[in-house]
A and B are shown apart, each in its own frame.
Chain A
C-alpha cells in the first residue's frame, strides 16, 4: 500500500537565522537517507499558514514496507533523535498516511504551489456523516479545475500533541489557482465548508487544523506512487 509521511516542523522562537538555516539543512540531509526508498520535499512554509509550522517535510514511499523498514532502521532513528535535539526546533507534527482518492490532470508535470490541510473529526461523528464527508472532499477536483494534482488521505499514524484523521494535499500551478477558483468555487463554500464552519450546526471538523503552503519547482505527488490515470478538467 502506498504510504507517505509528512512532518511540519516549527522553529524555536528566537532562533537565529543561522540556526534556522542549519535546521533546514539537517532536515535535507536526513531526507537524503530516505532517497533509496522515498522521494522527499523539504520546503519552508509560505505565510500565512495555520498551525503549519515553518518547514514542510514530505516523504513519499512506494510501499508501506519501505516506510516501515526505514522508520525502524538504526540510521534513521539516530538521525531523527539528533533532529529532535536540535536547539532551533520547537516541535513537530508528523503524520503517516495512505491515499483514499488521488488524481492528476493531464498537464505538464511542473512545479507551482503545494498546499496541505490536516484535520480531525469530532469523536462523536457518526459513520454515515464520516462517509459523506469523505465522498464530498474526494469530489472537489471534479468541480475545481485549478487543482491539478491531489490526494485525499486517511492518517494512519501521527506523532505530536494532536490526533489527526485526514490529510488533503493539492498542487496548483500557482497561488492564484488556490486563492482564486478554489476559494471562490460554490462547491467549496457551499458544500464542503459546512463540515468545517463553526457557524454551521452541521460542523464535524475540529477547529484546530493545519494549513500549509510552499512553492515547489517540480511535482511533489506521484513520484514514488503510481501516477493516476489523467482526470479531465471539469466542464
Chain B
C-alpha cells in the first residue's frame, strides 16, 4: 500500500507569513505528529516573503498507508477544528488535499 500525503496550503494575510508558520509549527504540528502524521516539508512560494502579500505556505505531511489513515482521522476529533478556526483568522484561504504517489514506471505510465 502506498503512502498518503496530506497537503495543507494556506494564503496568509499580508504580514502574517512568518507568524502563521510559527503558530502552525508550534500549535498544530505537535498534535498532528502525535496522531501519526510525519511533517515532510514546509514550503513558501514565491520563494521569499513578499511585503505586499501574496505568499502561499504549503505543509506536506505523510501517513504510511491507508491502514494508518483512520487512527489519525479519529484521534482528537473534538479539538482539531479549533486550529482551523484560528487559522481562518490569519489567512485569506486555506485548503487541505489528500494525495497518493502516482509516478508509475520510469516512463511515467501506470
B51-93 toward A: CB 8 Å interface, digit per residue (1/0)?
A: 0000000000000001101100100011011001001100000
Residue A197 CB within 8 A of the other chain: yes
Select the stretch in A18-26, A136-144, A183-191 that faces chain B.
Answer: A183-191
Contact, CB under 8 Å: A194 / B84: no
Contact, CB under 8 Å: A186 / B66: yes
Residue A36 CB within 8 A of the other chain: no
Chain A 186-204 residues near chain B, CB threshold 8 A: 186, 189-190, 193-194, 197-203
Residue B38 CB within 8 A of the other chain: no
Contact, CB under 8 Å: A189 / B95: no
How many angstroms from the CA of A193 to the CA of B6 in the assembled complex?
A: 13
Choose from B73, B88, B95 the contact partner of A197 (Cβ within 8 Å): B73
Chain A 150-194 residues near chain B, CB threshold 8 A: 183-184, 186, 189-190, 193-194
Q: How many residues on the A side are at the interface (Cβ–Cβ under 8 A)? A: 15
Chain A residues with Cβ below 8 Å from B69 are 189
Q: Which A residue sits closest to B79, measured CB to CB? A: A198
Chain A residues with Cβ below 8 Å from B87 are 201
Residue A232 CB within 8 A of the other chain: no
Residue B100 CB within 8 A of the other chain: yes
Chain A residues with Cβ below 8 Å from B77 are 198, 207
Residue B42 CB within 8 A of the other chain: no
Known: A184-B67, A189-B73. A201 touches B98 (CB 8 A): no
A65-108 toward B: CB 8 Å interface, digit per residue (1/0)?
A: 00000000000000000000000000000000000000000000
Contact, CB under 8 Å: A201 / B96: yes
Residue B14 CB within 8 A of the other chain: no
How many angstroms from the CA of A175 to the CA of B95 in the assembled complex?
A: 34
Known: A189-B73, A207-B77. A200 touches B96 (CB 8 A): yes
Q: Which A residue sits closest to B28, measured CB to CB? A: A199
Chain A residues with Cβ below 8 Å from B95 are 201-202
Contact, CB under 8 Å: B96 / A190: no
Choose from B81, B94, B96, B98 the contact partner of A189 (Cβ within 8 Å): B98
How many angstroms from the CA of A186 to the CA of B4 in the assembled complex?
A: 10
Which has the most chain B C-beta neighbours within 10 Å: A190, A198, A202, A203? A198
| Among all A-B residue pairs, the 7 with the closest Cβ atoms | A199-B80, A198-B81, A198-B80, A190-B98, A200-B96, A201-B94, A184-B66
13 A-B pairs in the complex with CB atoms less than 8 angstroms apart: A183-B70, A186-B100, A190-B98, A190-B100, A194-B96, A194-B98, A198-B84, A200-B84, A200-B96, A201-B88, A201-B95, A201-B96, A207-B78
